[in-house]
Copies of this chain bind each other. A is one copy, B any other.
Amino acid sequence: MDERQAVAAFAALGQENRFRVVRALVTAGPDGLAAGVLATEIGVSATNLTFHLKELSHAGLIQSRREGKSIIYSAAYEGLSDLIAFLMRDCCQGRPEVCAPAVAALAACDCPPGDLAHV
């Protein structure tokens, strides 16, 4: 991930409705959510949602697939983790004041302990 992509991703997340979309999709997991469901969940019109979804998709933070009449959106885990990684790489710069607290956040994360055994 280069600077341009990172800035685009930050811009995508820097909008309330889009941020909520991402959160909803991450929470939903790999199965994702249909556009219509998302629209009601976020409380935004279908038209407007489409606009934001395109924005997020372009930023590489979400992806979509068709399933019957519905279009199912889901979080792009790779894009999200790339962003976290980029932010940490870019901001740590040899300063534990920045990245050490992130480690604490990691501990608070709900991931199954075994999956992080290699830490």
- Which residue of chain B has the shortest Cβ distance to A88 in the bound complex? B105
Knowing that A7-B13, A82-B101, A99-B109 touch, tell me 17 more A-B residue pairs with CB under 8 angstroms: A26-B93, A77-B97, A77-B98, A81-B91, A81-B98, A81-B99, A81-B101, A81-B102, A84-B91, A84-B98, A84-B101, A85-B101, A85-B102, A86-B105, A89-B109, A92-B109, A94-B109
A1-25, CB < 8 A from B? 3, 6-16, 19, 22-23
For this complex, 18 residue pairs linking A to B, each with C-beta atoms less than 8 Å apart, are: A8-B14, A9-B14, A10-B13, A10-B14, A26-B91, A81-B99, A83-B87, A84-B84, A84-B88, A84-B101, A85-B101, A89-B105, A92-B106, A100-B116, A100-B118, A102-B106, A103-B116, A103-B119
Q: At the interface, is chain A mostly helix, strand, loop or mixed?
A: helix
